[in-house]
Amino acid sequence: MKLLAESTCKTIINASFESIDLTEWLFTLKDSEYQICSKDHIAAGNSINENGKRMSINVEQIAGNLLIQHYVEDVSQKDHCRVQSISDSIAAAGKTKLHIVWELKIEKKDSSSCELSNHVIVNATDDFLNLLNHLNIKNLDSISNEKLPNLIQHNEEETPLFAKDIERKALKGIWS
C-alpha cells in the first residue's frame, strides 16, 4: 500500500491514566457522542465481524469525500487502541476503497493528567490506484498533497473533543 496522508494530534486529558480505557471508549462510543466531536462526523455504531473482532463503524464527510469506515480491532489495551479499516470512499471522482489505520494512545503526565495521541494513516489500495488510472491521474503526490491538509484539519478538530469525552467518562468512573 502507498501512503496518502498521515497525521498525529496530541492533547491533554485531565483525568488519571488509570481511570481511562481507550479500547472500551472506542467500542462503546455512542452515535451522538461521535457526532459532537466533529462537524464532519455523520454517524457511528459498533458491531462484531465474522471473526469475532469488535468493529467501530463510522461515517464522515471530509472535503466532499464521504467515508464509510469499517474499523476492526487490532490492538486492544487500556492505553493503546488501534483499529484498521478498508473504508468505502465516495467522491465526485467515483467510489473506491482506502486503507485507514486509526491509533489512539495515552501517556501518563502526572497523577491527574495524561496526553492523548490520535494518529491516523490513510493508504491507497489497489482499488484506489485503479480509479486514479481510470481517471488518467498519474501523480500520486498531488493526491497526497490534497488529502494531507484535510486530514490534519480534521484530526486537529476531533482530537480535543475526543479527549473531552474520554475525560468526562473517566471522571465519572465509567471504566472502574
Residues 6+ apart with CB under 8 A from 83: 26, 56, 71, 72, 73, 74, 101, 102, 103
CA 58 to mean position of chain CA atoms: 9
Per DSSP, the residues of 111-132 read TTEEEEEEEEEEEE-HHHHHHH
- Please tell me the predicted confidence (pLDDT) of residue 112: 97
- Please tell me the predicted confidence (pLDDT) of residue 93: 87
**What is the C-alpha separation between 139 and 160, in angstroms, rounded?**
34
Q: Could you identify the residue written with the cell 466531536?
A: 37
Q: What does the pLDDT look like over 121-132, one tens digit per residue?
A: 999 999 999 999
Q: What does the pLDDT look like over 18-44, one tens digit per residue?
A: 999 999 999 999 999 999 999 999 999
Q: What does the pLDDT look like over 50-94, one tens digit per residue?
A: 999 999 999 999 998 999 999 999 999 999 999 999 999 999 889
DSSP bridge pairs for 5: 122
CA geometry: angle at 121 spanning 78 and 47, to 5°?
55
Reduced to 3 states (helix: H, G, I; strand: E, B; else coil), residue 14 is: coil
- Please tell me the predicted confidence (pLDDT) of residue 129: 93
- Please tell me the predicted confidence (pLDDT) of residue 145: 86
Q: What does the pLDDT look like over 146-166, one tens digit per residue?
A: 889 999 999 999 999 999 999
